[in-house]
A and B are shown apart, each in its own frame.
Chain A
Amino acid sequence: MTSSKTSAKGFLLKVVRNPLFFPLMALLLLVAVNFFADPTFFKISLEPSSTGNLILSGNLISIIDNASELVILAIGMTLVTSASGGQDISVGATIAIAGSVILRFVKVLPDNVSGGRFTFVLIMSFLVCVVASALCGAFNGALVAFFKIQPMVATLILFTAGRSIAAWINNNDNISINDARFGFFGNFIPGIPVPTPVFITAICLIVIALVLKFTNLRLYAQSVGINASSSRLNGINPKFIKLLSFIILGVCVAVCGFIKVSRTSSITYSVIANNIEMDAILAVALGGNNLGGGKFNLTASVIGAYVIQFLTTTLFKFKVSSSEISAYKAVVVILLIIISSPFVRKWFADMGNKIRAKKQANVGKEVN
């Protein structure tokens, strides 16, 4: 009798301590709120789009679609958080740079260019953009790894200057690409009802899963995050690992930038990917990852990213304007961080122990 009770309790504790518990609970809570507020929220339908091909539409689809950039960023941000013990706040500005670089190359194409040449230019411009954002990442990483500057302050430089650099790259022109093929990557490819960013996200997730499975990256990043000097004594180069994590984030940023500019086929330097750094950090925090570095759980971060997007869409559903949204989000975030913080968890555990002790004392009294 007692053994089954303790095992049930042990199972419950195991579930609660699982890093996936909090993001999943938050997700469930949001689903419940939406379901009771509006049961039609989860309706998915197949409707013809403005260009005439059939696409899936509905709130769920738009959440999964719009969360793409955030999920991809969360991958890189988790690695950076783990290895360097800080976050990169320049991602929004670097997305602007990446998008600006791509548009700079694609804009020179004439309107009715042949498919082959278009693909070639697109791939080349994407590669240049990856190199550019990897360089931005390397710049941040070098400041963090070699000059030992706190990550958030090191990335403050690009946070301040990034959008200005993006405007400078294109001479502050308002570029819009008329070629419909450029928009495929942020919207829909004709004939496929699922938005393309979902596929891009899936590819990124598979790649990072394979990398973590077949290389030592996870182990190295965690050990550097937990104790840099002792991992150096064990033959890991902490500087290189930190630099590498920032470069990986840079590549993630390049993909995000590509999706972002492809969505609208244009760029607004001061607005593109606004506040995304906040969301990305939140996704990592929501995934139960220690923001001070060390162990990480990528799945939890990814779920965290979807939760954030779910929250955003829900708030939009309740007619909160896009500029007011940040206030509500900040409150939710503070609450979530407070609940999931080790300090409060410890406090709850202590309270539980006290109650149990009291109960036992009472039982003892009754027996006496």
Chain B
Amino acid sequence: MSVNSNTLGENKLKKRSSLTDSNLLLIITIAVFFTMYACAVVFLKQGFLKPQMFFNILNENASLLVLSCGMTLVMITGGIDISVGQVTSLVCMSCAVYLQKVNDGVISGNVFTSMCIALAIGLAFGIVQGFLVAYLEFQPFIVTLAGLFFAKGMTTIVSSDRIAVTYEPFVKLCRTEVTIPFLGSVNKKGIYIPAYVEIGVIIALAVVVLLFCFLKWTKLGRNFYAVGGNNQSANMLGINVKLTKFLAHVLCGLCAGIGGYLFFLHACSGSPLHAQGAEMNAIASSIIGGTLLSGGVGNIVGTLFGVLSLSTIKNIVTSLGLDEAWWTNITVGAMLCVFLIIQSVILYVRTTLRKTKSKRTN
């Protein structure tokens, strides 16, 4: 009897150890997302069955998706960047002011230069913060907190009013919808409405694919995991730890620039109130997607599902009729809490299992 239970236990151990931390967390996230969406389809029925509902979630969260991917990169190396939300806001405001000036004929320029401005702002934040974190060895949290407040102040210095962009080529770009074949729906009058996504979604998905390949198959990408997993052993392996951390922050800044521009494309305006709390949503999405805060574990696919789960639960909460503003925040907080606890419990169980296993082999 005892032998039997022993072998059973060992079997379990074998199965578990074939799953890495990253994969286990990823599976949990994907399972949670699909259960949640299925529940929404079964119990709510208010359009959750329509593909357009899903595409709307993507449309609204394209910028969050890019921000979260950048956040995931930094979190894999063991850092954190909480300035991304306000950088988004700053990017929107600067581009809006710039395009309005172009529209009024004060300066010459076009949509492309506004994109360059967005990327430059993001890169500047990434480089300065990355330098302070990696080479001067400050706590990433403090540095990026200062970055957050700097961006917040700069946004109001650039302009304190809400600016709606009327520059023709840009508005055209904002309104462009990419139709998706075969997934439209028929409305009450029997007219076929095709499903669509905005341009931002395609850019965001491209970023996701790029970063996924980067983390999976490039040397630098693997270095990110090594540095996050164990600083010192990465150093001994001959990895330039400081440079790797610096590059992670630069990439995150770049993602903040791209994400900011996507937000700008979606909102078509600049305002100091844009992207409030986006950094919290980005961190929450990364954590829900299975990125460990201690570094070394994380997955871009997980982050994608993290963003989807977060936005789905927000949609579910509003369709449940709890549409007072505070319910969304409370739900996000609760969800973050649950996933943090799950992470911590899983890590605890796995370390104790590993200990017992090593004892047995001894």
Contact = CB atoms under 8 A, between A and B. Distances in A.
B344 A160 contact: no
A152 B141 contact: yes
A281 B146 CA distance: 11
B50 to A, nearest CB: 29
A275 B329 contact: no
A327 B80 contact: no
Given A275-B149, A321-B156, A334-B146, A167 B337 contact: no
Contact of A324 (B138, B141, B153, B341): B153
B329 A160 contact: yes
B327 interface: yes
B344 A165 contact: no
B330 A156 contact: no
Interface in B147-206: 147-154, 156-157, 160
A344 interface: yes
B307 to A, nearest CB: 16
Contacts of B148: 330
Contacts of B337: 143, 157
Given A147-B341, A327-B154, A158 B283 contact: no
A147 B132 contact: no
A161 B153 contact: no
A344 B141 CA distance: 19
Nearest to B154: A327
Interface string A269-286: 000000100100100010
A148 to B, nearest CB: 6
Given A153-B287, A326-B149, A341-B138, A165 B156 contact: no
Contacts of A326: 149-150, 152-153
Interface string A314-334: 000000010111111111011
Given A275-B149, A323-B160, A328-B153, A160 B326 contact: no
B145 A281 contact: yes
Contacts of A343: 136-137
Interface residues of A, number: 46
Given A161-B334, A327-B149, A330-B146, A156 B283 contact: yes
A35 interface: no
A164 B314 CA distance: 14
B97 interface: no
B234 interface: no
Given A153-B340, A172-B324, A341-B138, A158 B153 contact: no
A333 B157 contact: no
A275 B137 CA distance: 25
Contacts of B325: 164, 167, 172
A292 interface: yes
A281 B144 CA distance: 13
B326 A167 contact: yes
B142 interface: yes
A278 B277 CA distance: 15
B329 A161 contact: yes
Contacts of A168: 324, 326, 330
A55 to B, nearest CB: 32
Interface string B275-294: 00100100110010000011
Given A161-B329, A167-B326, A172-B324, A330 B142 contact: no
Contacts of B272: 323
A334 B132 contact: yes
Interface in A300-318: none
Nearest to A148: B344
B246 to A, nearest CB: 15
Contacts of B145: 89, 278, 281
A161 B143 contact: no
A226 to B, nearest CB: 17
A295 interface: no
Contacts of B113: none
B139 interface: yes
Interface in A224-247: none
Nearest to A168: B326
A333 B149 CA distance: 10
B53 interface: no
A337 B340 contact: no
A167 B293 CA distance: 30
A98 B345 CA distance: 31
A143 B329 CA distance: 19
A26 to B, nearest CB: 16
B153 A291 contact: no
A123 interface: no
Given A153-B340, A324-B157, A334-B143, A163 B136 contact: no
A326 B155 CA distance: 10
Contacts of A163: 326, 329
Given A143-B337, A327-B150, 5 more contacts: A150-B293, A154-B340, A292-B139, A326-B153, A337-B146
Interface of A: 86-87, 89, 143, 147-150, 152-154, 156-161, 163-165, 167-168, 172, 275, 278, 281, 285, 291-292, 321, 323-331, 333-334, 337-338, 341, 343-344
Interface of B: 80, 132, 136-139, 141-143, 145-154, 156-157, 160, 272, 277, 280, 283-284, 287, 293-294, 324-330, 332-334, 336-337, 340-341, 344-345, 347-348
**What are the 7 closest A-B residue pairs judged by CB atoms, nearest first?**
A327-B153, A161-B333, A164-B326, A330-B150, A164-B329, A147-B344, A326-B149
25 contacts: A143-B337, A148-B347, A149-B344, A150-B293, A153-B283, A160-B284, A161-B334, A164-B329, A275-B149, A278-B145, A278-B149, A321-B160, A323-B153, A323-B156, A324-B156, A324-B157, A326-B153, A327-B151, A329-B153, A330-B146, A330-B148, A334-B132, A334-B143, A337-B142, A338-B132
